[in-house]
Chains A and B, each alone.
Chain A
Amino acid sequence: MSERVRRLIGWGVAVLAVGVIVVGLLPEQAVADPDVREQHLAQRIACPWCHGQSLAESDSAVAQDLVVILREKIDEDWTDDQIYDFFASSYGDHVLLDPPLTGWGIALWSLPALALVSGGWIIWSRQQVTR
């Protein structure tokens, strides 16, 4: 088999595989199923008295009650942010496992990004200009 043919087959297989992956994964992501939302939010909100376990992980009665409340809010069409704010104001900021982007939270989220950019710049600038 000539090099050219092999290359063509390679590209063909690659394109086909990418097609399968894209087509296979696209439709799944559009679903805003209430069960999926409940699962996602339950992972992002901590049970207030369970040593930092999320509502999804904790077996405690409190956590189960809070999941019921969470589900009510979802069924009443609250947005994720509204639900998040509701839990934070009712039980304190520490129930948010995903620290919000305010105050010190800005530093938490932006410092790694800043380090990535500045580190990347340093590496880039170390390249020799000759060549």
Chain B
Amino acid sequence: MIATIGLLGILLATVSSAQLIGRAWSASRSADANPASVARPVTMMLAGAVIALLALEAGILSHDFSLQYVAANSSSTTPFIFLLAGAWAALEGSIVLWGVILAVFTYLVARTVKTGDRLGLTALAVIGVVSLFWFGLMATVSNPFRVCTELVGGSCAASSWLPFVSAVAPAEGVGANPLLQNHILMAIHPPMLYVGYVGFTAPFAFAVAAMIRGDQGSVWLERTHRWSVIAWAFLGFGILLGAWWSYEVLGWGGYWAWDPVENAAFLPWLAATAFIHSAVVQRRRGMLQAWNLVLVIATFSLTILGTFLTRSGTVISVHSFTQSGVGPALLAFLVVVVLGSLGLFGWRAHLFSSAPRLDSLASREGVFLLNNLILTVFALAILLGTLYPIALEALGNARVSVGTPYFNRVTIPVAFLLLLAMGIGPVTPYRYARPRVVWDRIAAPLVAGLVAGAVAVLSGMESIPVVVIIVLGTFVIATIVKEYLKQVGKVDGSRAAAAGRVLRRDPGYWGGQIAHIGVAFLAVGIAASSGMASRDQVRIAVGDSAVVDDYCIVYEAATSRLEPNRRVDGALLSLRNADCSDEIASLEPVFNQYARPPAVATPAVHTGLSEDVFVALATLPGDDVVLDVMVFPLMWTLWLGGLVSVAGGMWAVFAKRARRKTAVLPVTESADV
């Protein structure tokens, strides 16, 4: 029953997608371009997708193990929250969630399409093509509602696509993947990431529509600007949550491994970051029209590449929990998207290349261009590093690796350049910046950065890259704060009201500056926690203690408890100061063993203002225990910075623009004097 309803939902959404393509396309070509006919397929697509997701949830919550997906990804002892999240914890279900998000976005886009909006209708047809692919995938190779038809030894040996065949159910499900049911973050990380991934569909569709129609100008960009920023913020938030999960749960002592799948999420984020910046140049100065099309195509293509790498098992990583016919389908779609949109671009580019030229490199536009160049090269380097081993292996060469050392070598100089541009760019006037003007705005912040660097050195920091990042990060933040205070000073009224008013006067600009502050913190956190980390391994007998770095760790007792879905073995530790007198915190790193492997070692982390102490079990605790003890300086700045930059993006999109009052400068970007 549940399977039948779910499959019908998927089929409804699939048919509606096809209908959307036809109706939106013909409406865009009709005399009055009336969007009334697309309302039905858009609503039906959303309804079908929601029905599919609800049916899947119903199957999981009611422990309907005749559904192969339910049996493979949950059990009767799986906690409620992980049952809910089970709907997107594996390949087929995650594509259902993807479809729902896409249908919601399609619905929201359709609401903005009014009579006569040929661009919007064409874009809806393009979105229809994209959704037809995803729902078609669910209806065929990635059907989450396959039912079990044959049991061998209590587990499903054969399954059928037809939901109404006589189904048999194993007595118990295998249970959720231990890695995914170990922490609440795994319930949130995928949806956030998907909102980011799927969100770029709208900008892509409008760009393709503008190319098809030959609509020059910035209409497509204006209309999708908010979508791009929202998608960018969610993608960033999703990546941040993934990193946090890796740090809090996996116990290997890091948050980022330059794993191909991490890169696959980072790449579209980089391309989108470049796009958001270059879009400003087009909106303000009419430049870079063709380049923006390239960037939005690249961003969307990279989201598909990311999904392909994640979901096809092409690369070995913590994310590749599946292998199926979905891989070839995604690869084919990727090829169609890349070749199709680039072909279209090649055909139509001449219409978009008549942009005004750059007056001078010494201008806001000039810095934006440099920003784009750096971000693009950054993305290219990471793309090469990610695909290099796969490509060489596909060409029949011996297995090779591209690991952290390569990525660090590329990232560190790029990070320096980006931070420098981030400090100078926002206070550089458009068209032509007199060096004197720029210098007056950055001189004091530069001194502040150098002083911060000196303080860092005096307090014992020895790593050159870390100190450089601290100098540049402080410079960026000081530039922004200085400019902000200057603007606040110009506004009449109470200081508190003025402080809010400036931020609201130009949410786009100040949202961007908030995001920049976040990135500066993020950079400091990344540099300090990786450049100055220390890692040790100690063996401690029960009741005994060991001194690691500036801490004393006392192993008080082994603990063990049974929870409904797992067995938890831990070591009760007391973290104390170096002479073992005062307790700083009580820690309990554990091993979690679920019904199915692997066991997950969850670390215990004590977060302090100057550093994190991270303790993970290397052996099962008994009479003695082996601990991995790591110290990560300034770790909190990384998480805080990430959140602040996401908040900046949100501010840019959702903050209500303050109404102009007299005696206030025109509502333009604050630094354009």
Contact = CB atoms under 8 A, between A and B. Distances in A.
Contacts of A46: 401, 403
Given A21-B453, A92-B398, 5 more contacts: A25-B462, A93-B400, A95-B401, A97-B404, A123-B370
A17 B397 contact: no
Contacts of B535: 56
Given A21-B454, A128-B358, A51 B317 contact: yes
Given A127-B361, A128-B359, A54 B377 contact: no
Contacts of B406: 97-99, 108
> Interface size class for chain B?
35 or more
Contacts of A92: 398-399
B388 A108 contact: yes
B373 interface: yes
Contacts of B316: 51-52
Given A10-B444, A115-B376, A59 B403 contact: no
Secondary structure dominating the interface of A = helix
A116 B405 CA distance: 20
B628 A108 contact: no
Nearest to A40: B405
> Interface size class for chain A?
35 or more
B281 to A, nearest CB: 12
B359 A104 contact: no
B324 interface: no
Interface in B376-408: 376-377, 380-381, 384-385, 388-389, 392, 397-406
B380 A99 contact: no
Interface of B: 252-254, 257, 259, 316-317, 357-361, 366, 369-370, 373-374, 376-377, 380-381, 384-385, 388-389, 392, 397-406, 409-410, 432, 443-444, 446-447, 450-451, 453-454, 457-458, 462, 464, 467, 471, 535, 618, 628
Given A17-B447, A17-B454, A99 B398 contact: no
Given A24-B458, A25-B464, A128 B360 contact: yes
A1 to B, nearest CB: 14
18 contacts: A17-B447, A21-B450, A21-B453, A24-B462, A46-B403, A92-B398, A93-B398, A99-B388, A99-B401, A104-B392, A108-B388, A115-B376, A116-B373, A119-B377, A123-B366, A127-B360, A128-B357, A131-B359
Contact of A20 (B358, B374, B458): B458
A63 to B, nearest CB: 12
A85 interface: no
A40 B444 CA distance: 37
Interface in A38-62: 43-44, 46, 51-54, 56-57, 59
A96 B400 CA distance: 7
Nearest to A131: B360
Closest 9 CB pairs of A and B: A97-B403, A24-B457, A17-B450, A112-B381, A17-B454, A20-B454, A98-B405, A94-B399, A119-B373
Nearest to B452: A17
A66 B588 CA distance: 31
